[in-house]
A and B are shown apart, each in its own frame.
Chain A
C-alpha cells in the first residue's frame, strides 16, 4: 500500500481530517510527522536561508523527519480561497522550495487551490491528485465528497464544542466521544482571553512555549479563531477593513475584530517575527483596540529564542493587569 506523508505544520491544523479522509478513501495510508521538537526546528532552520520565517523552517524540519517513512509527501498550494484574496508567497512556492532544500525527499504530491480560476479547474485538479491512486474518476469524486464532509464535521467539532484543532483531530482519530467542554480547567476560569493568529502558531506547542497550557494555569479560559463560525469572522473582517486581501485574514483580523466587540477580557495576538502579512493584519487589530480602549491587546512575536523568559514575563504582566482591572471593576460596581 502507498503511504502519503503529511508534515505536522502550516496548513495541517486547518485541513488534516479532510486530507486524511481523501487519501484513505483512495486506499492510501497516511502518516503524519511527530509534533515539533527542538530537533525538528534545528534541522529545518539549517536547510533554508536565514530570512525564512519560523513556520516555514518548522515545516521544512517536518518534511525532513518524514523522509524514509513514506512514499510521497503531500504539499498542497493554497493560492486563494475566495475571489481576489491571496496567500503569502511562501505558501505558493512551498513544494518547489521543499524540493530544492530537501533533496532526499520522496516525490512531492501537489495540488493548487485557486478559486480565481473557477470551480471547473478545481475539480480537474482534485481529479489529477486522485489519479495517482485510482484510475476511476467517480471514485476520486466520491473521495473528495467524503473528505469535504469530514472537513465540515471537523469545523463543527471546533465551533460547537469549542475544541482546539489538535483536540478535534484527537477526537476524530480516536474512538472516544466528543467531550462536553473542550479545555480542562482545574478551577473555574477567572477570565477569558481571545487568541488571534494562524493555527500553525497557536497550536504548535514547541514554538509558542505551550502558550495555551500556560494561560490555563493562570485560570484563563482560552478562545481561538477556529472556534468561531466562518460567517462571524468574515463579518468582522468586512467591518474592520472592508474586503479581505489575505487568504487567512479571518484568523487574525476577523477573530480580533469579533473579540473586540465583547465577550473576552483581553486579546493576545501571536505572530512570527518577519511575517509580512501578519505585520499588516495584526496592526489593524492593534489600532482598533487602541481606538476603542475597552479590551486590552498584546502582541507576542515568536522567533527561534530558546529562552521562554520573555514570553512568560509578558504573559504574567498581561494577566496581572487583567485581574487587577477586573478586581477594580467589580468593586466599583458594588
Chain B
C-alpha cells in the first residue's frame, strides 16, 4: 500500500497523519510536544508504525507547524510547508465549498478566508498569544483541572460572567476577582471561553468578512464550550471536522501527494527506524560578525545534519564539512 505521511509539529502538540493513494486517512497520531519536538516526532513515528501492516510504503512525507524545519530533517521531508497553507488545503479537501477557516492552536490563532475554493486572505494573531490554546491551558492548570474538565464544566454555565480577554494577565486578575466575589466556577469558565472568542473575533478577524460555511479546526476545537461561544457570538453554525486536530498534518500529506505525483520521484523518507536514532541538538553563538546569530544544530553520531538560525548561509551551506571552522568560531 502506498501512503503519504504528514507531520505537524506545533508548539503544544505533534500530529501525524497517513493518507492512502486515494487520500483517505489511514491512521493518525496526536500527542503532546512537551517542548521536545524531536522526541515527539520519533514517538509519533513509532505509534504510526504500530498501527500499520508490514507492507506499507511511504510515497512522500511533508512537515508543517512551527518546528517544520527541524522535523523535516528528522523524517527526510520531501516538502516543508507552513501551517496556514496546509490547514487551508485540508479544509478544502473535506469541504470544497468552505468560505471561512478558523484555526486555534497552542500559540497561534488564524483565520483563512476562502472564496471559490481559493485562499484570498488570511490573518494571524499579532504579537501576543492571548486568546490561544495555551491561555486556556494555563487557566485550567491554575484551577487544578484538566482541559477536558474545563470544557465540560463551562458548558453547564447559565449566567456567564464577563472576563477581559485582551491580555492573559488581565483575564487572570479578572477571574480571580470574580472568584472572590462568589461567582460559580462554571460561569467564570464559560466567561473565559467567551472572552477568548471575542478576542479572536475582535483581533484576528478585524475587518474580515466571515461567511458560512465556517470550518473550525485545531486543538481548541475539542472544547465544546468554545464552539458554543462561537455559535452565540456570530450566530452561524460552525462545522468541526471529525479529525479537526490533525488537519494540518492531513493538509501536508495531501500537498506532498500532489507534489510527488507531479514530480514522479522517490521519497526521501528516512524510514521508521529514525524513531530509534539518537539525535543531538545544540546551539552556539556565531562570532564571525557582530550579528552574533544563534545558530542551532542537529547532529547524529557527531555528524551535523543541519544547522539554521543564521542571518547568512555560512552555517547552512555545508553542514558536514565545516566542523573544523565551527570549532574555531565557537
Residues of A within 8 A of B (CB): 34, 37-40, 205-206, 210, 273, 286-287, 290, 293, 296, 298, 301, 303, 306, 309, 312-314, 316-318, 320-321, 324-325, 328
Given A37-B290, A37-B291, A39-B290, verify A317-B121 contact (CB < 8 Å).
no
9-residue interface stretch from B21-29, B31-39, B80-88, B146-154: B80-88
Which residue from B121, B126, B291 sits with its C-beta under 8 Å from A38?
B291
In the assembled complex, B122 has its CB within 8 A of some CB on chain A: yes
B85 engages A316 (CB within 8 Å): yes
CB distance from A43 to the nearest CB of B (A): 11
Neighbouring B residues of A303 by C-beta, 8 Å: 127
B121 engages A296 (CB within 8 Å): yes
Complex Cα gap A205–B312 (Å) = 11
A-facing residues in B37-87 (Cβ within 8 Å): 66, 81-85
Neighbouring B residues of A290 by C-beta, 8 Å: 207-208
Neighbouring B residues of A320 by C-beta, 8 Å: 81-82, 84-85, 119
In the assembled complex, B183 has its CB within 8 A of some CB on chain A: no
Neighbouring A residues of B210 by C-beta, 8 Å: none
B118 engages A328 (CB within 8 Å): yes
Complex Cα gap A259–B126 (Å) = 24
Neighbouring B residues of A317 by C-beta, 8 Å: 82, 84-85, 122
Cβ-closest chain B residue relative to A42? B292
Complex Cα gap A309–B290 (Å) = 21
Neighbouring A residues of B311 by C-beta, 8 Å: 205-206, 210
CB distance from A297 to the nearest CB of B (A): 8
Which residue from A39, A205, A210, A296 sits with its C-beta under 8 Å from B292?
A39
Q: What's the tally of chain B residues with a CB closer than 8 Å to chain A? A: 24
Complex Cα gap A290–B124 (Å) = 16
Complex Cα gap A301–B203 (Å) = 14
In the assembled complex, B181 has its CB within 8 A of some CB on chain A: no
B291 engages A206 (CB within 8 Å): yes
The 10 closest A-B CB pairs, nearest first, are A317-B84, A37-B290, A316-B82, A320-B85, A321-B119, A37-B291, A313-B82, A317-B82, A39-B290, A328-B118
Complex Cα gap A309–B291 (Å) = 18
In the assembled complex, B276 has its CB within 8 A of some CB on chain A: no
A39-B290, A303-B127 given. 12 additional CB < 8 A pairs? A37-B292, A40-B290, A287-B207, A293-B120, A301-B126, A309-B66, A318-B122, A320-B119, A321-B119, A321-B120, A321-B121, A328-B118
Neighbouring B residues of A210 by C-beta, 8 Å: 311
Cβ-closest chain A residue relative to B293? A38
Which residue from B84, B117, B207, B292 sits with its C-beta under 8 Å from A313?
B84
Cβ-closest chain B residue relative to A309? B66
A321 engages B122 (CB within 8 Å): yes
B119 engages A306 (CB within 8 Å): no
Cβ-closest chain A residue relative to B67? A309
Neighbouring A residues of B81 by C-beta, 8 Å: 316, 320
CB distance from B121 to the nearest CB of A (A): 6
